[in-house]
C-alpha cells in the first residue's frame, strides 16, 4: 500500500496562511495521495482558535491538536508524536503553516531514491521573491562564519549594527540572491521551515530533541540525526513556497533576537 503522508503544521494566531497551506494539501489529495494534516494550534486568541477549528469542516483530512500552553515549534511536533494521529509507518512532514506545497510534492517524493543513511529530506523551500532557502548550510561552519555569529549574538545592539552593515554590503554587491536551485546531495543544516522524516529516523527516535522554546532547532535536529549515524539530504525536486515567518513576524524583533541568542549559545558547537 502507498504510504500515508502526515503533514504537521504549527499554528499561532494565523488563519489565512493556514487555510492556504491546507488548500495546497487538498490539491495533493485530489491527485490521489494519501495524507492527513495535523495542525498543532499554539494560538492564544479564542477567535483564532475558532477559525482554525473551521478548517476541519472545510478539509476532511485536517485534524487539530491544541496543547494547554504554547509549546513552541519542536515542542508542538512532539505533541503530535505523542498523539493518536501519529502512525509510525507515516512519512512525516514537519512544517510551518505559511507554506504552500506543489501539487506533485508527494508523487515526486515517492519516485525519489535516497541513500540508505538518509534520515531527513530537506525540500527546495522557495520564498515569495524567488530565494532558495535550501541547502541552508552545506558543511559545518568555519572559524570566520562562527566568529560572525558569536559577534551577532553577543548583544542586541551589536547585532543591529552588524545587520545594518550586512545590508549595506549586500546592496553594494548588487543584492545577489540564490535564485536557482542547487544540485541534490547531503547537507549539514536544512532550513527549519520544512523537514521530511523518513522511516529510518522514526525507527530510532520517538521525539525531537530540543531545549528551547524557539530557535536552534536546525542544529539540534542535525545533532540528533548524526548521533545515530544518519544524514540530511537536499532534494530540489520537492518544491515548497514559503511566505516567510507567519509566526515570528508577530513577535517584536528584540523578543525574537533574545530567543535566538539563548538558543545559539546552547547549540553553538552543533553548527
Q: Which three cell numbers stand for residue 152?
A: 551577532
Choose the CATH number for 5-139+179-208+224-245 among 3.90.550.10, 3.40.50.720, 2.60.120.260, 3.40.30.10.
3.90.550.10
Assess contact for 194 and 125: CB atoms under 8 A.
Answer: yes
**What is the predicted pLDDT for the residue at 156?**
82
- What's the CA dihedral at 65, 70, 76, 82 to 10 degrees? -60
What is 101-114 written as a DSSP string?
Answer: E-TTHHHHHHH---
> Cell digits for 122?
530537506
Q: How many angstroms separate the Cα of 102 from the Cα of each of 73, 84, 155?
A: 23, 27, 40
User: d(Cα 95, Cα 139) in Å, to the nearest integer?
Assistant: 23
Q: Which residue has the cell 530540489?
A: 236
Give me the pLDDT at residue 264, please: 66
Q: What is the pLDDT of residue 44?
A: 87
Residue 253 backbone zone (phi > 0: left; psi -120 to 50: alpha; other: beta): alpha
Supply φ then ψ for residue 88, to 5 degrees: -65, -20
Q: 100 and 20 in contact (C-beta within 8 Å)?
A: yes
Which positions of the chain have pLDDT values less than 50? 246, 248-249, 252
The rounded distance, in Å, linking the Cα atoms of 233 and 196 is: 10
Q: What's CA 177's distance to the chain center, in Å?
A: 20
Alpha carbon distance 203, 127 (integer Å) = 32
Domain ranges of the chain: 5-139+179-208+224-245
Q: What is the pLDDT of residue 252?
A: 46
| Residue in 256, 245, 218 with CA at minimum distance from that of residue 128 | 245
Nearest to 197 by CA among 75, 64, 72, 89: 89
Closest to 261 (Cα-Cα) out of 159, 143, 109, 177: 159
What is the predicted pLDDT for the residue at 249?
Answer: 47
> Which of these, 225, 239, 228, lies nearest to 193 by C-alpha position?
239
pTM above 0.95, yes or no: no
Amino acid at each position: 500500500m502507498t504510504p500515508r503522508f502526515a503533514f504537521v503544521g504549527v499554528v499561532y494566531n494565523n488563519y489565512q496562511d493556514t487555510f492556504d497551506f491546507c488548500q495546497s494539501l487538498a490539491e495533493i489529495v485530489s491527485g490521489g495521495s494519501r495524507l492527513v494534516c495535523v495542525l498543532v494550534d499554539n494560538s492564544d486568541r479564542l477567535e483564532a482558535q475558532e477559525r482554525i477549528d473551521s478548517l476541519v469542516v472545510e478539509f476532511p483530512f485536517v485534524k487539530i491538536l491544541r496543547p494547554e500552553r504554547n509549546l513552541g515549534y519542536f515542542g508542538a511536533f512532539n505533541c503530535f508524536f505523542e498523539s493518536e494521529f501519529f502512525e509510525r509507518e507515516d512519512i512525516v512532514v514537519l512544517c510551518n503553516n505559511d507554506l504552500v506545497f506543489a501539487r506533485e510534492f508527494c508523487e515526486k517524493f515517492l519516485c525519489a531514491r535516497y541513500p540508505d543513511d538518509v534520515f531527513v529530506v530537506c525540500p527546495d523551500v522557495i520564498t515569495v521573491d524567488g530565494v532558495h532557502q535550501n541547502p541552508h548550510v552545506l558543511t559545518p561552519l568555519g572559524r570566520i562564519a562562527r566568529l560572525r555569529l558569536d559577534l551577532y549574538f553577543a548583544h542586541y545592539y551589536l547585532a543591529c549594527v552588524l545587520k545594518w552593515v550586512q545590508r549595506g554590503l549586500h546592496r553594494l554587491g548588487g543584492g545577489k540572491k540564490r535564485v536557482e536551485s542547487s544540485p541534490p546531495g547531503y547537507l549539514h543544516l536544512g532550513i527549519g521551515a520544512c523537514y521530511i522524516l523518513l522511516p529510518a529516523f522514526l525507527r530510532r527516535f520517538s521525539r525531537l530533541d530540543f531545549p528551547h522554546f524557539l530557535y536552534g532547532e536546525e542544529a539540534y535536529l542535525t545533532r540528533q540525526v548524526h548521533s545515530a549515524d544518519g544524514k540530511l539530504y537536499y532534494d530540489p525536486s520537492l518544491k515548497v513556497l514559503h511566505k516567510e515567518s507567519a509566526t515570528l513576524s508577530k513577535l517584536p524583533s528584540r523578543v525574537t533576537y533574545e530567543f535566538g541568542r539563548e538558543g545559539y549559545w546552547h547549540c553553538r558547537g552543533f553548527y
